Structure 1
Amino acid sequence: MTELNFDHDLRAQRVLFGAGRAAGNVAQALADLGVDNPMLIASEHEAELAAAVTADVNVAAHVDEVVMHVPVEVAERARKAAEGVDSLISVGGGSTTGLAKAVALTTGLPIVAVPTTYAGSEATAVWGMTENRTKTTGSDGKVLPRAVVYDPGLLATLPADMAIASGLNAMAHCVDSLWAPKADPINRAHALEGARLLRDGLAGIRTDSTPQSRELTLAGCYLAALSFSSAGSGLHHKICHVLGGTFDLPHAETHATVLPHVLAFNVAAGADAHVDRLAEVFGTASAAEGLSALYEAIDAPNSLAAIGFTEADIPEAVERILAATPVSNPVTVTEENMTELLRGAL
């Protein structure tokens, strides 16, 4: 048996979870932080929700220019708008949280994050910005939201297809954390329980989207992000960051589409990929079989071509992926096998 040896970093973050409690919890989070002059970051699409969520606080400024993959120029404009405020409230999905993180990265302003999708960015200290068709990511404690306000009711109107793609992005956090560079028993435990909650929640969202299914999925999304935050970015996320940042593909759908292919790719490593425990979560003979059954049951996204990727894009994508692949991945990545993987996902 391999000697157990790891270094796990626990980050401080407050989580306030409750249906119908978003506005009160946001006000409480700000009060506990000792701030009272926040800037709201929420897109025009989220304007109604954001107004309800911030009904009990005085918003000093509002940024609604939210763009996927956080272009550097958008981040710069948001940073300028934040001059004079003492905190940030983000209401929205991963792009909104990502913009708040970009502001916090240079200003140190505390973030109160209110997710309206299952992206999970709110639970990580990972930031990402795009410039010249290249997405750069990093990790910095300044960007970890000081408080996260989860309210399953805020996701009640999220279209089922978007909810499924977003939830599978969370599932990708779980799966990638099994073999990521800093994977350890603690983040694997979070990942496996997160995958179990997501399995049950997503099945319910596809059929009838009950409050319970949203609660399960949201709780799973938090555990998934918690595992990813400490395990680091594995092969799956490196691939998807290239596809999203370079080819401007939609974040959640890209992660959902690529995930089964990366899982099948790393299953070849056997025990080194730690996927046997994931098979137990799905109750199937193999993890790949279990994930495939879930995808079929919830009618998951399964084509990169459907979201704008082409055969002609593969060579550049492979070149960029090879440069970003973690050396710790349990299966050696080559030009040939990565080309085959992308063709399969196409």
Structure 2
Amino acid sequence: MTRDFVHETRPGRVVFAAGARHRLAAETERLGLRRLIVISTPEQAELAGELAAPLRDRVAARHPHAAMHVPAEVAAAAVARARETGADGCVAVGGGSAIGLAKAIARETGLPIVALPTTYAGSEMTPIWGVSEDGRKTTGRDPKVLPATVLYDPELTVTLPPALTITSGVNALAHSAEALYAPDCSPVTALVAAESVRALAGALPRLRDSPSNPDARADALYGAWLAGAALGSTTMSLHHQLCHILGGTFDLPHAQTHTAVLPHVLAVNLPHVPAALAALRSALGAADPAGHLFHLARDLGAEMSLKILGLPEDGLTAVIDQALASPYANPAPVTEAALRRILDGALTGRPPA
């Protein structure tokens, strides 16, 4: 078989263990950091304070102001805070919102990031940044925003609410599904993505039945790590484009939106990519990956209707117009008919055709 591909491995250190959060001081010391700005959402300020306590006087500032989709004004305030305190590094505690805000700081200042993820968002493994302004979410790639060190501690995910556990996990699974048919997917990335799907799909039902199961939490976080690595090595496609538009324009919740949209995008794309279809069939143990993921998420309690998540019916045209104006690389032709099929199904929450 002829092989022609490029695979780029990005620098970064991963520490994965129950209790890995207790190694934060040692890991920042390893990087030579002396003045750290600690980033979190307001809701996780207390946790961030607890985790940063061993850093003692190396904490230059605590900034618990991260917000979903990284609003531009929030990003600007965080950059200003980092500069005025003379920070030489960021500690990000939380999911995509906190890590996204740390990336906004890193993009402007070059400060290294040490991330402690508490969800399965996967942002900590990618050089992708995003900022929202005036109803639009802009994303890009910059190696400066890739965290220098990630501390994966499954115990930090135990308090993740059951509903968010499921949607955050499916959000991670979306990264791997799209990586499998990305134009720059290498054989190594395909292996990582398929293993991620297997780990996540196997862990989520166990977490529904036993939310504090340590082995299931570890498996889900392992799968999320691999999903983020797969996403960071490939080009994003239609699924991520639609979710960025829905989040940036209508402020829909991030993980829930990914969960509702993914099965419908897969139903459109997978017939055009036999290798990705075969990989997902094997990883999920299902002949119809799109339908299987829809029913898995719904049966585990996820809301599958964008309308219930906050998308107005008259908003579909705005989403379609934006998607057609700046199309992402995608295996199936991105037409108005295909977009309407995807969005109509996700709006109502019905199974993919």
- 1:344 partnered with 2:345: yes
Which secondary structure does the structure 2 equivalent of 1:130 belong to?
Answer: strand
Write the letter of the residue equivalent to 2:7: H
Name the residue aligned to 1:17.
Answer: 16
C-alpha deviations, 1:35-54, integer Å up to 9, x for none?
12100001221122212211
For residues 77-226 of structure 1, the aligned pairs below 5 Å read 77-83=77-83, 84-209=86-211, 210-226=213-229
- Equivalent position SS for 1:69: coil
Q: Is the 8 A contact 2:40 2:63 kept in 1?
A: yes
Q: Give the CA deviation at 1:301.
A: 2.5
Question: Size of the alignment, in residue pairs?
Answer: 342
Contact 2:172 2:228 in 1 (8 A): yes
Q: Say if 1:179 and 1:270 are closer, same or farther in 2 by CA, change over 3 A.
A: closer
Moved more, 135-144 or 59-68: 59-68
The 8 Å contact of residues 279 and 290 in structure 1, kept in 2 or not, is answered as: no
- Residue correspondence of structure 1 range 283-294 to structure 2 within 5 A: 283-294=285-296
**C-alpha distance in structure 1 between counterparts of 2:203 and 2:231, whole Å:** 19
Counterpart contact for 2:259–2:297, Cα < 8 Å: no
Q: Which residue of 2 aligns with 1:32?
A: 30
Are 1:37 and 1:60, in contact at CA under 8 Å, matched by a contact in 2? Answer: yes
* Alignment match, 1:74: 74
Deviations 1:220-245 (A, max 9, x none): 00000100100121111011011111
- Quote the residue 1:334 is aligned against: 335
Do 1:87 and 1:109's aligned partners in 2 also have CA atoms closer than 8 Å? yes
Which shifted more, 47-56 or 142-151?
47-56
Q: CA deviation at 1:185?
A: 1.3
Q: Is 1:41 paired with 2:24?
A: no
Please list every run of 5 or more consecutive structure 1 residues that lacks an aligned counterpart in the other structure.
none
Task: Encode CA deviations 1:61-98: one digit per residue, 9 max, x unaligned.
Answer: 01111111111111110001001011000001101100
User: Residue 241 of structure 1 corresponds to which residue in structure 2?
Assistant: 244
* Amino acid paired to 1:321: A
User: 1:293 offset after TM fit, Å?
Assistant: 4.2
Aligned-residue offset at 1:34: 0.8
* CA offset digits 1:97-154 (Å, max 9, x no partner): 0000000001000000011111110010100001111111111110000000111111
How many angstroms apart in 2 are the aligned matches of 1:108 and 1:270? 38
Find the aligned partners of 1:283 and 1:341 in 2 and give their Cα distance.
24
The alpha-carbon deviation at position 268 of structure 1 amounts to 2.4
Task: Classify the secondary structure of the residue corresponding to 1:268.
Answer: helix
- 1:56 matched to 2:58: no
Q: Any stretches of 5+ residues in structure 2 without a counterpart?
A: 348-353
Answer with 292-301 or 60-69: which moved more.
292-301
| Secondary structure of residue in 1 paired with 2:233 | helix
- Deviation of the 1:300 alpha carbon: 2.5
**Off by >4 Å, runs of 4+ in structure 1:** none
Distance 2:30 2:55 in 1: 13
Q: TM-score, normalised by structure 1?
A: 0.96
Alpha-carbon separation, structure 2, partners of 1:213 and 1:116: 15
Counting aligned pairs with the same residue, the percent is 44
Deviation at 1:254, TM superposition (A): 0.4
* Preserved contact between residue 182 and residue 232 of structure 1 (Cα < 8 Å): yes
Worse-matched range after superposition: 307-316 or 3-12: 3-12
- TM-score normalised according to structure 2 size: 0.94
Q: Helix, strand or coil: the match of 2:55?
A: coil
CA distance in 1, matches of 2:269, 2:159: 36
Report how far residue 323 of structure 1 moved: 2.3
Deviations 1:193-252 (CA, angstroms, capped at 9, x unpaired): 000110111111111121111100000000001001001211110110111111111111
